[in-house]
Amino acid sequence: MSAELKIAPFTIPLQEVPTTASIAASTPEHSAAEKRAIIAEIKAELERQDAVLVAHYYTSADIQQVAEETGGYISDSLDMARFGNEHPATTLVVAGVRFMGETAKILNPEKRVLMPELKAECSLDLGCPADEFSAFCDEHPDRTIVVYANTSAEVKARADYVVTSSIAVKLIDHLAGEGHKILWAPDKHLGSYIQKVTDADMLLWNGSCVVHDEFKSRAVGNLLQQYPDAAVLVHPESPEAMLQLATVIGSTTQLIKAAQTLPNKHLIVATDNGIFYKMQKAAPDKILIEAPTGGVGATCRSCAHCPWMAMNSLDNLLSTLKKGNNEIHVDEEIRLKALRSTQRMLDFANTLEAE
């Protein structure tokens, strides 16, 4: 079997990707007292509006803390979708990036879904425009279309299955066992990793994550000389050379579990550093080290923190709650089609848990 890499006709001009440093520089700084006041207002608004905050692991520690203290939730995109679906609140406030808000709306059309910042995109989503992707699918009618959750509602609507990194290997393995040939989009590194593990026949879209793409295997090798006892935790959106250094490869939730169970004192972590908030709580006795994103003299755009995730702040969270703006809408015809492929993901995940 083989993984064939499709060179997508569309690439994101680098100048359209904000740097995390520029986002941080434009985010207001607050004293501890100001922060407490803003958080108190957010909590009051959440209660007043029957709203619940669902945050991704890559958002700031402040936002994750508010989610924890208000009965909200912090997790990866699969569990965020499930939680929003099961929680009785009439408004879901999704702190993360746009496709997460869209997924919440796909599953919960009757609920109001708000996001702190609608411009919070994802390079995987941007790098897989629906028209080009649909034309690509048309060229390969014999393939089952499996897309990563990091895609627009329109791309999900074109797919047979949606997956997150936590169940991608198992789903592709299952489909390959049934004789399916796969068209995978958009992350080429994750697709390539799945292909190697499952030996499935896969055709890959050429997308990548601007954060994980920047991790540097040579610099991690140098770090390992300094910490020879360290384990290396790597998200599978990272390049192949990083995966070869990994002690554990897994989704955000799987990496947090590994941090708890591995015996190593030092853990070199190759995913967005927003995960450190939950990982350190889960494994308080471990020393977490950020995997380097540049060698000597190199520069980074994300520097291990997603620029779009960094757009979520306490200020725009409060503003959205007060103004009721930044609401997510998904065209009903698209939503119904995207629901079919997304629901298949949830059903498959439930089957795995029941085993």
Q: Considering the complex, state which of residue 63 and residue 89 has its C-beta at the smaller distance from ligand SF4.
A: 63
Q: How many residues interact with ligand SF4 (rule CB under 6 A)?
A: 14
Residue 251 as a binder of ligand SF4 (CB under 6 A): the answer is no
Residue 97 as a binder of ligand SF4 (CB under 6 A): the answer is yes
Distances (CA, A) of 173 to 141, 178, 208: 20, 9, 22
> Which of these ranges, 119-127, 128-136, 289-297, 317-325, lies near ligand SF4 under the rule CB under 6 A?
119-127
Q: Which two tokens stand for residue 3?
A: 């993984």
Residue 308 as a binder of ligand SF4 (CB under 6 A): the answer is yes
Give CB contacts under 8 A, 24+ apart, made by 328-331. 328/94, 328/98, 328/101, 328/102, 328/104, 328/105, 328/113, 328/114, 328/115, 328/118, 329/105, 330/102, 330/105, 330/106, 330/109, 330/153, 331/153
Question: For 2-110, where are the E strands, in sequence order?
Answer: 3-5, 51-56, 73-75, 91-95
Q: Considering the complex, state which of residue 165 and residue 195 has its C-beta at the smaller distance from ligand SF4.
A: 165
Residue 209 as a binder of ligand SF4 (CB under 6 A): the answer is yes
Residue 123 as a binder of ligand SF4 (CB under 6 A): the answer is yes
Residue 149 as a binder of ligand SF4 (CB under 6 A): the answer is no
User: Nearest approach, Cβ of 347 to ligand SF4 (angstroms)?
Assistant: 24
- Using only C-alpha atoms, the chain has a radius of gyration, in whole angstroms, of 20
Rounded CA-CA distance 192/184 in Å is 9
Q: Are 314 and 38 in contact (CB under 8 A)?
A: yes
Give Cβ neighbours of residue 22 (< 8 Å, ≥ 6 apart): 307
Residue 94 as a binder of ligand SF4 (CB under 6 A): the answer is no
Q: Considering the complex, state which of residue 84 and residue 236 has its C-beta at the smaller distance from ligand SF4.
A: 236
Can you tell me which of 210, 259, 304, 311 binds ligand SF4, judged by CB under 6 A?
210
> Which of these ranges, 22-30, 41-49, 102-110, 118-126, lies near ligand SF4 under the rule CB under 6 A?
118-126
Can you tell me which of 45, 79, 117, 272 binds ligand SF4, judged by CB under 6 A?
272
Residues that bind ligand SF4 (CB under 6 A): 58, 97, 122-124, 150, 209-211, 237, 272, 306, 308-309
